Structure 1
Amino acid sequence: MDIDAIIAAASRANQSIQYNLGSCSRILHIGFFFDGVGRNVEQDVPNQRLSNISRLYRAFPLPEKSTDSEVYKAHYISGLGTPFNDDPAEFLQSQMDKARDDYQGGLPTDPKDAAEDFAKDALSGKSPKETLTEMRNKLLSPVGRLDSLKQSYMGNLKKIVTEATPWLRDSRIMAYNFATGVDSRLESAKSRFASSFKEAVSTGEIPVKLISVSFFGYDLGATLARQFIDMLLTEICKKNGEQYIYESVPVDIVFTGLFDCSRDTPASSNNGMEYAGTAAAFIPGGIAKVAATICSMLGRKYIDHMSPLPEQVKKSLHLVAAHERRPWRCLYRTGQNDRHCEELMPGCSEDIGGGLKPDEQKPSAELSRVALNRMYREAMKAGVPFPDLSSLYQTDAMVWSYFAMSDTVNGLTASEWTARYQRAVSPKRVTYQALNRHLDSYFEWLGAQYYLYRKRLRLLEAQHSAIYRSYEAANGLLGISSQAKSAADDIVEDIAILKKHWGWLDEVRDAAYQQLRDDQDLPPVYYENVYEPACIRAQYFIDCGGFGYRGEPAPPKWDRAPSEIYSWFVHDVQTLRNGDSITNEFFCIRWMEPH
């Protein structure tokens, strides 16, 4: 037994003492697993894109492993924009193992055309200026107030119809633009909590004396987990002194684990300015709701939830992607509580929450396993009934395989390279300064690659030109010898290969120029934390390319991060997804919601 297992045993013992649990009592362990947007076990298994949420879900003990003193129930909630199974029971856990390679489970076919027609109709509207004018008139006019109430009623009715129509609710275009599926998932979680308790008390002679609950979530799923925690404390449970009880049984929230929590959907066009410029989401009272509505109309699509993680959560861990910078994916922080830990880890959001495949831009997809193992150990130590990871291979090799790391670079695993990186780039604490430090490190590496690319490209172009200018080239019957033409063709092929793999860096250079030209009237907090550091990175990147093309020495290096972490493990989702273009926001850290 290692030190983590000892700490886990101590946590469970302290829980028993706190709630006066004797030998004649049972604990109901309930785990809720809210997957990320677009993530779904049934779809991800055959595509080998399992998220860390689904892997943790698989590790939670199955109900048949319940004992006289402990009962286990795990509930998986699929991500927004995917089919939602309201009552999966233990189907998913049992099927994941069988379907690792050849899962052929049927999924309902969505009438996508109808969903798109519905969404296009809902999305069509007036210009932002007209929208703002109408909003102002409605707020100031009594007639407008009445019209607003009518529209609100019809909007709620449409929402109810949408939530009750799975193929429409779970279509990506609806979920991403209108956050459909939120209410259905929360209500399902509420129902599952009640049914888990009812089933536990109806089976077994020993009474249930404690409900021990844990929550896990990824990006928007993390926000849903937080929203359900609030529901649990305010709508489901009753407060009795310092305790929360359900059906006269105490409820203990032992752990909440979040992977890169965000409220915004992929359809959101928010770039952080709505936070920095207006802070609309944090204005108290009715004004906030109006401001939030306007923000949504102007492009921000998000889950309407804003509160710190409650103090009733005994312990939490929020693993934050240090290199995530998609502007719509603003970070939703957990609050200022010593028991709520937030920690930066290298990578984009998918490198933290999972869902990528090997050789998809980078050779390895195992950086997400580092975050997975970190979360697993912290949850286990807090009292979540995960088996001891150090001995998991001997007890359950199948579950162990979901957490194993096999990729090595120069003899080191992703976990070991991450440790080296974190020693070199020390800030783990989530601040704007730390985010900029991590991104500076990345751009020093990327700038070095651009320097080498431009230097090599210039050399090949010079060699190609020299062939046609050489005296020997003129000896051929048609003005060029066959040997010279063959050599020239080889160089052209080398240039094509070079541009195929590294030509996207020229797009990054164009975005760098755009960043330097994009001088706006920005709020000081945004200028200092986001805009100015991005301009410094953009200029550095341009300089790297220029020095390389001119054959001058490379700019000086000050970063000590191992290049292997970027070459093999850290992904650039902006250059990975089809249709995603590189803009000046490529150089910017993302905004964080105040906590």
Structure 2
Amino acid sequence: MSSEMSLALPCFAPPPFPDAGRLLLSAAQVNANYKKQVRDEMDYRIKLAAQTGKKGIIPCCRSLHISLFFDGTGNNEENDTRAAKPSHPTNIAKLYHATYQDADRDGYFRYYLPGVGTPFPKIGEMDYSTHGLAFATGGEDRINWALLRLVDALSYAITKGAKRLDDSVAKGMLPDMQAHAPFSGEVNRRNVMKPLLKALETQAVPSQQPHLLRIKLFIYGFSRGAAEARTFVNWLTQLPDPKTKTEHQELTLAGLPVSIEFLGLLDTVASVGAAHILPGAAGHMGWADNTQQLPDERTFPGLIKCCRHFVSAHEQRLCFPLDSVRRPDGSYPANTQEVIYPGMHSDVGGGYPPQDQGKSCNGVGEILSQIVLHDMYATAFEAGAPLSVLAECVTDCIKDKSPNRQIDIKTQGEFDFSKELVKRFNIWRQTLLNTTLQGAEESEDKQQGYRAYQLSQALESAVIDQVGWITAWRIGRYANGSLTAQYFYKSAPQLDAEGLQREKDAHDAAVKELNAHRAEAEKNRKPLDESLQGKPDLDPTNAQYQLREAAREFQHDYRAWGRDINGGIFWDKTLQIALDVIPKHAIFLINGDDEAAEYEQMKADGNRRYSQLFIDKLGTGIRTQPRADLLALYDEQIHDSRAWFMQSALGGREPWGGYFRYRMIYCGNQANKNLRLISVEGKVLNAAPTSNNVVWFVEPKTAYNNATYKVKDMATGVVQTLNPPASTMQPGAVVAQARSGVISEQHQAMMASAINMLKESGAKVV
């Protein structure tokens, strides 16, 4: 950990989870939520009465409440909620379901944006995309679509006849909003949005009924969707013309003040461009470049009223580096908390179905992400979010108000939870607090609402401690061979060879049928919509095999028996990944010395924690409480994201990764690991000039001690051994400097070429 990060402010632990869950609200909480929503209207009426001297006048006025939901990588509400069996929407989709429905007439708007790598017919993406899943392709269009949703809501609220921004018209605007390297796209977005907003501002006369007061935004995001949400916030602040913008000026759209009442983020992962699928790639390219820090509150005071970032304690995949909301200087933005939760990436953001990997076999109520769902609901509700409430919680204050604020039965079922889950979570929470485990911790909040507990550790230190616990679990279950005797393993779905073939045949038949329906629609000139969107790639039902292979990999690494680079990947597939990525984006190497040190520390921490979960060297689980319940949380709730990830696509697990690596954590453009930049803007640094078609690869000594780095020019066949620059924990500054140099070289080459062309044409060049 860098010295700067060691001085960082502490992160937070979640509060104890209440036995009754967080949907069971008090009358005071429900009424406070309503009063926050109408506070501006009440203030306006009081002010107007004071100005006119007339009391009792109730002018028709309102604020617009706009909720935006950016779902995670590979997550798609249309498929996950309606088509998938069993249904497995993420927490973002569930919060979307819980938000006021069909409430546009009352000034409440909600918009859902499917995760990258999944169909989004409104922007022209009909199919699941490997590039979207791996490199966040399509993220820029989703963010720009969200900006255009603001125009849609404003148009409905302002124009006569409540006109909407037609989807086909908005889709046609997206190409004009896109960035073109090396430029950021800021001017392009402003050029599209400015005339739309100006036209609406002209129509929004003071005498309009209802009189519009302001725009309140409620923004949610998971995974790359959380990165999109953060980029959206930054791009929103760039819409005003910089020529007319003054310091500390309030952000406005169409003349209306804008505030972000709530920003709810679940385990932000940018991973745009090349993620850490190779031995290092920043993931901060394209639309995520310099957009992950929240706007400076000194420039935009009061813009973000409340931000909560819930992060995974146990995720370790290279492709999922975490983007903290902490500033590079170690401080947190105002009104912001970063809270650690147990489990992997999707144990926080949701999306696992019951029985996945043999976990949560008794239904949705046992899924670990349900805790996060309730907690995000609670903190958003307290911030005034337009979220529906249980029938028994409807108060006299809201029962006759429009829109309907009562949650529907189906959505209520999506918030199910079990008593066992609550008990296990509250016991796990004590490990985060570094207290002696107690079996009967008080599970009720001392105060109503969500009150996170500030730790004494920075985020990186807390994560290191938590990884020690899951490493201890893996030693018992994986290294010591007790996996296959466990109930969760036996419950993990697994088909034999014939079953896998039938599954594939059924999937192929469904795709063929869908294509026939699409062809018929196109023949009849009917638009392709969500009903004809593509199907997810087949994810074979072989969880037991994946778990066994994961256990074999961990066992070999733990006992230093040696293995291939990732437990079964073919080398040529690794080269192909490099071939797709290298020419386009910044690529970093992770310091091999750091990896060796991480291995030793993680192994030692796991050995130290082992006796708190197991009673012998055979991996026999502890039977005394509360540690037996803590062990049960790891057995029956926390998934193994590495065991599954890329297995079906590549025949092995994530290349270059492993169970003995700490997660990469970014704070802005600062990282918690030493990195070496080797490529940026299509140029390989410290190498002779190459064509655009290059392959970068590593010849490793072991999985945790890389040795030789090379680049091969596919046009000439020339192979160069690289001498990477010095390592740094501030990759952003290095990239900016290198990019500036490359762009300068390109500019000079273009100018020289233009001058030569003019000379050859006979023109006089002065």
Aligned to 2:30: 5
Q: Deviation string for 1:243-291 (max 9, x for gaps)?
A: 211111111110100111011159734468556xxxx96xxxxxxxxxx
- Secondary structure, counterpart of 2:239 in structure 1: helix
Match of 1:251 in 2: 258
Separation of aligned partners in 2, 1:302 and 1:195:
23
Determine the structure 2 residue equivalent to 1:207: 211
**Match for 2:653: what amino acid?**
S
Tell me which residue corresponds to 1:387: 388
In 2, the alpha carbon distance for the partners of 1:501 and 1:345 equals 23
- Which residue does 1:317 correspond to in 2? 308
Counterpart AA for 1:166: E
User: Which amino acid is 1:588 matched to?
Assistant: R
Matched with 2:470 is: 442
1:568 aligns with 2:636: yes
2:318 match: 327
Which residue identity does 1:425 align to in structure 2?
L
Find the counterpart in structure 2 of residue 370 from structure 1: 371
**1:358 equivalent in alignment to 2:427:** no
Match of residue 401, structure 1, among 399, 407, 412: 412
1:41 pairs with one of 66, 74, 77: 77
| Distance across 2 between alignment mates of 1:395 and 1:547 | 52
2:231 alignment partner in structure 1: 227
Q: Distance in 2 between matches of 1:506 and 1:315?
A: 45
Does structure 1 retain, via aligned residues, the 8 Å contact 2:322–2:666? Answer: yes
Relative to structure 1, the CA distance from residue 194 to residue 397 in structure 2 (aligned partners, 3 Å threshold; closer, same or farther) is closer
Aligned with 1:62 (options 93, 96, 101): 101
CA distance in 2 between counterparts of 1:34 and 1:451 reads 39
Q: C-alpha separation between the residues in 1 aligned to 2:42 and 2:593?
A: 51
SS of 1:589 mapped into structure 2? coil
Q: In structure 2, the residue corresponding to 1:235 is in which secondary structure?
A: coil
Alignment partners' CA distance in 2, 1:239 and 1:402: 47
Amino acid at match of 1:562: L
> Partners of 1:74 and 1:521 in 2: how far apart?
41
With the length of structure 1 as denominator, give the TM-score of the two structures. Answer: 0.64
Which residue of structure 1 aligns with residue 659 of structure 2? 586
Q: Is the 8 A contact 1:451 1:545 kept in 2?
A: no
Q: Does 1:172 align with 2:168?
A: no
The one of 271, 278, 293 equivalent to 1:308 is 293
- Distance in 1, matches of 2:277 and 2:484, equals 38
Q: Is the 8 A contact 2:549 2:643 kept in 1?
A: no
Is residue 348 from structure 1 mapped to residue 416 from structure 2 by the alignment?
A: no
In the alignment, is the contact (CA less than 8 A) between 2:136 and 2:224 conserved in 1?
no
Looking at structure 2, the residues matched to 349 and 217 of structure 1 have their Cα atoms a distance apart, in angstroms, of: 13
* TM alignment of 1:489-508, pairs within 5 A: 504-508=550-554
Q: Deviation per CA, 1:93-120: give whole Å up to 9, x if none.
A: xxxxxxxxxxxxxxxxxxxxxxxxxxxx
Which letter does structure 1 place at the counterpart of 2:617?
Answer: G
Whole-Å separation in 2 of the counterparts to 1:304 and 1:515: 40
In structure 2, distance between residues paired with 1:500 and 1:176? 20
Q: How far did 1:32 drift?
A: 0.8
Aligned in 2, Cα 1:352/1:545: closer, same or farther, shift over 3 Å?
closer
Alpha-carbon distance, 1:456 to partner:
10
- SS, match of residue 215 in structure 1: strand
Alpha-carbon distance in 1 for matches of 2:44, 2:592: 50
Which deviations, in whole Å up to 9, do the C-alpha atoms of 1:429-469 show, x marking residues without a partner? Answer: 55221111111122223333357746999xxxxxxxxxxxx
1:503–1:247: structure 2 CA closer, same or farther, 3 Å change rule? closer
Give, in angstroms, the shift of residue 419 of structure 1. Answer: 1.9
Instruction: Tell me how far apart the structure 2 counterparts of residues 384 and 553 of structure 1 sit (CA, whole Å).
Output: 43
State, as a whole percentage, how many aligned pairs show the same letter. 22
Alignment check: 8 A CA contact 2:546 2:644 kept:
no
In structure 2, the residue corresponding to 1:548 is in which secondary structure? coil
Residues 512 and 15 (structure 1 numbering): CA distance in 2 closer, same or farther, change over 3 Å?
farther
- CA distance in 1 between partners of 2:631 and 2:427 (Å): 11
Deviation for aligned residue 1:7: 4.7
Helix, strand or coil at the partner of 2:659: helix
Q: What letter is aligned with 2:67?
A: G
| Counterpart code for 1:54 | A
1:259-274 aligned at under 5 Å gives the runs 259-264=266-271, 268-270=275-277, 273=280
The one-character-per-residue Cα deviations of 1:185-238 (angstroms, maximum 9, x if unpaired) are 122112111111110123582111111111111111111111111111111688
SS in 2 for 1:510: helix
Q: Given the alignment of the two structures, is residue 32 of structure 1 paired with residue 95 of structure 2, yes or no?
A: no
CA gap 1:186/1:63 in 2 versus in 1, 3 angstroms: same
Q: 2:628 & 2:562 partners in 1: Cα distance?
A: 27
- 2:617 equivalent to 1:548: yes
Decide whether the 8 Å contact of 2:266 with 2:310 is kept in 1: yes
Q: Distance in 1 between matches of 2:154 and 2:473?
A: 53
Q: How far off its partner does 1:512 sit?
A: 2.2
Amino acid at match of 2:347: D
Q: 2 CA distance for matches of 1:213 and 1:14? A: 15
**Residue 432 of structure 2 corresponds to which residue in structure 1?**
425
Q: What residue is the counterpart of 1:493 in the other structure?
A: none
Aligned residues of 2:221 and 2:227 also touching (Cα < 8 A): yes
Q: Give the secondary structure class of the aligned counterpart of 1:243.
A: coil
Matching residue's letter, 2:306: K
Q: Is the Cα–Cα contact under 8 Å of residues 557 and 563 in structure 2 kept in the other structure?
A: no
Question: Contact 1:318 / 1:341 at 8 angstroms: preserved in 2?
Answer: yes
The structure-2 alpha-carbon separation of the partners of 1:536 and 1:213, relative to structure 1 and needing over 3 Å to count, comes to same
| Deviation of 1:174 (Å) | 2.8
Q: For residues 322 and 58 of structure 1, what CA distance do their matches in structure 2 show?
A: 27
**Greater helix share, structure number:** 1
The worse-fitting range, judged by mean Cα deviation, of 228-237 and 38-47 is: 228-237
CA-CA distance at 1:181 after TM superposition: 1.1
Question: Cα distance 1:588–1:14, how it changes in 2: closer, same or farther (>3 A)?
Answer: farther
Describe the shift of the 1:570–1:83 C-alpha distance in structure 2 as closer, same or farther (beyond 3 A).
same
Aligned partners of 1:363, 1:553: CA distance in 2, in Å?
17
Two-structure CA RMSD over aligned residues (Å): 4.3
> Do 1:215 and 1:255's aligned partners in 2 also have CA atoms closer than 8 Å?
yes
CA contact (8 A) 2:215 2:258 kept: yes
1:200 aligns to what SS in structure 2? helix
User: Partners of 1:207 and 1:566 in 2: how far apart?
Assistant: 54
State the alpha-carbon separation in 2 of the partners of residues 342 and 445 from structure 1: 26
Q: Secondary structure at the match of 2:617?
A: helix
1:366-391 Cα shifts (integer Å, max 9, x gaps): 21111111111111111111123584
